[in-house]
Amino acid sequence: MTKPLKVVSISIDLFLVSILLYNIYQYIPYRVEHFTAISKVHAHRVNTITKLTQANIYFNGVELDVYYDKETNKFDIYHPPTESIGLSLDKYFSKISNKKLKIWLDFKNLTSYNRESSADKLLFLIRKYKLNKGLILVESKNIKVLQYIKKKGFTTSYYVPSRLYKSSSLFKDSIYKLIDQYEGQKISFSYQNYEDLLIKYPQKKKYVWALYGNPISRVRLRQIGVTKKILNDSFVKRVLVPFKSIGGNR
């Protein structure tokens, strides 16, 4: 084989190896920075039984997206634009054998209209499957109605707008004013909002999602430092990270 052909062959081999390593990397549950406080690291968007089963092997907690239908009195698990597969929270809870698993419920459609029936249904399911209510976090963008859920004994968190860090000072101030109005409310947000919210609320309990893009980029390298800082913050209680399971990703 001539030298040019050898170079081409080696280049192709390296390219194929890189693709293989990248694909393997996608299925590794943890990143290097997670090991500073691994008990806080929970799996994001665990919206199927298959993914729940696998996440339970690696993580102390999972996050899932729920919609409540008052007419049927059921919680459906899915995240638009992905369509519903008819997976109820009832069935999901029935598959949780680890009663110490922490659960983060992203309640997508909490309103004053459904607050009472949804809270009652959630309490019923917790009793039915003997889950620990203290390990369940209910998150919503509706901070006012969230107070009702909080009074029912749940840990609750206000979903801060994802791109707050890019917003105008006027919009930021309106969000801060809303948070200040409900002083005892915990907050959850993207890691990109961390620095702003750390300055504004250094001692407020926080729940953060750190969802990464391309693992081989300068942006990713910056994320490592920020995530380590977040994990070492004693007021940050849970950090969501991407988890790609073998099947069941929705």
pLDDT along the chain (250 residues), means of 10: 55 46 60 87 97 96 98 97 96 96 98 98 98 98 98 97 96 98 96 96 96 61 84 97 90
Domain assignment present for 199: yes
Position 50 scores a pLDDT of 97
**Separation of alpha carbons 51 and 58, rounded Å:** 11
Domain assignment present for 8: no
Position 13 scores a pLDDT of 46
Domain assignment present for 24: no
Domain assignment present for 10: no
- How many CB atoms lie under 10 A from the CB of residue 105? 24
CATH of the domain at 80: 3.20.20.190
Secondary structure of residue 100 in the 3-state scheme: coil
Smallest Cα–Cα separation from 205: which of 228, 232, 185? 185
Domain assignment present for 22: no
Number of domains in the chain: 1
Specify the pTM: 0.89
Domain assignment present for 77: yes
Position 29 scores a pLDDT of 78
Domain assignment present for 249: no
Domain assignment present for 167: yes
SS (H, E, C) 127-192: HHCCCCHHHEEEEECCHHHHHHHHHCCCEEEEECCCCHHHCCHHHHHHHHHHHHHCCCCEEEEEHH
**Separation of alpha carbons 77 and 73, rounded Å:** 13
Q: Which domain holds residue 166?
A: 32-241
Q: Please, which residues have CB within 8 angstroms of residue 242's CB and are 6 or more apart in sequence?
A: 44, 211, 212
